[in-house]
Amino acid sequence: MKNLLFFFLIFLNLNLFNQRDIHRRWDYELKKFVDKNGKVDYLKWSKNSSGLKAYINVLEQNHPKDYWSKNQKMSYWINAYNALTINLIIENYPLKSIRDIKNPWGKKLINHKFKSYSLDEIEHKILRKMNDPRIHFAINCASISCPNLSNSAYFSANLDNQLSESTRNFLKNKNSITTNEIQISKIFLWFKKDFGNDEKLLNFIEKYSMIKLNNPKIKYLAYNWNLNDIQ
C-alpha cells in the first residue's frame, strides 16, 4: 500500500511539474511582448515568433488528459486560445483588426491527435462548457474592447485568483458602473446564457466590481474591434 501511495505521489508531482513547465514558456513570451495595460507589441513579436511557435508545438504534444483536474484543463485551453490568437495576428500582420482576417475564429489552428480545433471550438465547445463565466475575461480577441491580455500565463494552482482578478480588471477598465446605471460590454449580451437572467448578471457585476447596485439601468457599449496594438 505504501509503495502504491509513493508512486502515486511521484506521478502527481511529475504531472504538476509538466503543467508548470508547459506554461512557463508562454509566461516568458507574454512578459516580453505585452505591457501592463494589455497592449501587445505585434511588430516586435512578429519578428521574434520562434518562442511562441515552440510553445504552440508543446501544447500540441501535451494535450489535456482525462485525469487532469478541471483547473489544469481550463488553464491549458485559456493559454492555448490566447497564444493561438496572437499567432494568428502576427502571421497576418500588419492589419487593423482581427476581422480583417477571413474567418479568424473558424480556422483550424491546433492539432490534437486526430482532431483539430479552431478558436470558436475552444471557446464554445470546451471553455464555455466548464461553466465558469469568468473565462470570458481571460481569453483575448486581440481587440481594444476585449478584456486585456494578461502579461502572465494562467496556471492551474492559482487559476481561481487569476480569473477573479481578470474579471475585476475588466469591469473596472472596460465598463462604467455606478449604483443606478451600468454601461457594460456587449460580452455580457452575447454570452447572456452564461451569466443568467438580469438578477444573476447584476449579482455577478456587483460581486466583482464591488459596487452596490440599486436596480440600475443596463446599457451596452459599442464594441471596438481595432487591434490592441502597442504601436
The neighbouring-strand residues paired with 117 are: 110
Residue ranges covered by each domain of the chain: 2-220
- The alpha carbons of the chain give a radius of gyration, in whole angstroms, of 19
Q: Where would I find the H helices in the chain?
A: 2-33, 42-46, 50-61, 70-92, 119-120, 159-174, 187-190, 192-195, 198-209
- Model pLDDT for residues 45-72, shown as the tens digit of each residue: 999 999 999 999 999 999 999 999 999 9
Helix (H) or strand (E) holding 184: strand 181-184
pLDDT score of 231: 81
Model pTM?
0.91
The residue type at 44:
K
DSSP-assigned letters across all residues of 195-225: H-SHHHHHHHHHHHH----SS-EEEEPPP--
| The pLDDT of residue 19 | 52
* Tens-binned pLDDT, residue by residue, of the chain (231 aa): 554 543 343 344 444 445 557 999 999 999 999 999 999 999 999 999 999 999 999 999 999 999 999 999 999 999 999 999 999 999 999 999 999 999 999 999 999 878 999 999 999 999 999 999 999 999 999 999 999 999 999 999 999 999 999 999 999 999 999 999 999 999 999 999 999 999 999 999 999 999 999 999 999 999 999 999 998
- Residue for grid cell 465598463: 175
